[in-house]
Amino acid sequence: MNGLMPLALRDGTCVPVRGIRTEDAPALQRLVGRSSERSIQLRFFGPLKALSDESARHFADVDGEDRFALVALDPEDPGEIVAVVRYEREGETGAAEYAALVEDRFQDRGLGIGLTRHLIEAARENGIECLHAMVMSENTGMLRLLRSLDLPERKHWEDGTEHVEVDLRSARAS
């Protein structure tokens, strides 16, 4: 997905969505900088004062197949990213790690689930059969999002973290 695609949120706001680009690294850093300590804790499993240049470049540099990411742009300022969802394939397998970050003011409006559904479409097209995510037990929003996909899932707990595997081979959640 290279062009812009509109995504309508529950409140009627229309958010432009596109594939991430290498030049988005600084905008990813600004997204992390605008996010609350709690959102950062839940996404990165600890405090993070800033996303390093190296990490931002890594997250923005994808190949579109084994490493794929979508970004949602601020409808008021299209140079700013307000959410990102991504997957990264594990080796030569059909499994990939899933991660997401939605800016606080856009949370609970349907942006995360909308982006994730589009990410799942791309993952399936690229031969990904299973997405897995590590989610802190207190991250009820992410756990709710993963369950709302209505796809078969397996989960287990380890050190206060829920490991959720979502099977993409089912036709549901399309």
pLDDT by residue for the chain (174 residues), tens only, comes to 557 899 999 999 999 999 999 999 999 999 999 988 888 887 877 777 788 899 999 999 999 999 999 999 999 999 999 999 999 999 999 999 999 999 999 999 999 999 999 999 999 999 999 999 988 778 888 888 888 888 888 888 877 788 889 999 876 544
Q: Which pLDDT tens digit goes with each residue over 39-87? A: 888 787 777 778 889 999 999 999 999 999 999 999 999 999 999 999 9
The Cβ of residue 4 has, within 10 Å, a number of other Cβ atoms equal to 12
pTM, 2 dp = 0.90
- Strand bridging mode 161-167 / 77-89: unpaired
For position 10, what pLDDT does the model report?
A: 94
At 132, which helix (H) or strand (E)?
strand 130-136
Residue with tokens 């490991």: 163
